[in-house]
Amino acid sequence: MEITDSAFIALAAGLAMLGTIGPGIGIGLLAQGAMQSIGRNPEAAGLIQTNMILAIALTEAIAIYALVVALVLIFVGV
């Protein structure tokens, strides 16, 4: 059984997607903190929600970078 370059490219793309674990955990912790804050201070729900959505978008960008790297490896790989 011969290991080809495409096998290494697929492995590298899969490893690149491990970069989505951190943002996934981060978004979960972010939402948990926001829900606890809203539970403690319901009057500030609008401000907390706005900041939470902005932070989630910035955190999700990191996961998108990992996806782009994986796609580049798959479609542009040698």
Separation of CA 66 from chain center = 8
Return d(Cα 8, Cα 4) in angstroms, integer.
Answer: 7
Give the domain range for residue 38.
19-76
Q: pTM of the full predicted structure? A: 0.80
Report whether pLDDT(26) > 90. yes
pLDDT at residue 43 in the model: 96
Question: Are the C-beta atoms of 30 and 55 separated by less than 8 Å?
Answer: yes
The pLDDT confidence band at residue 77, using thresholds 50, 70 and 90, is: confident
Neighbours of 73 (CB within 10 A): 19
Q: Is the dihedral of CA 30, 36, 37, 38 positive or negative?
A: positive
pLDDT at residue 22 in the model: 93
Counting residues of the chain whose pLDDT is more than 70, the rounded percentage is 96
Residue 13 inside a domain? The answer is no
Residue 1 inside a domain? The answer is no
Residue 4 inside a domain? The answer is no
Report whether pLDDT(58) > 90. yes
Q: How many domains does the chain have?
A: 1
Q: Residue 34's domain is classified under what CATH number?
A: 1.20.20.10
Separation of CA 48 from chain center = 21
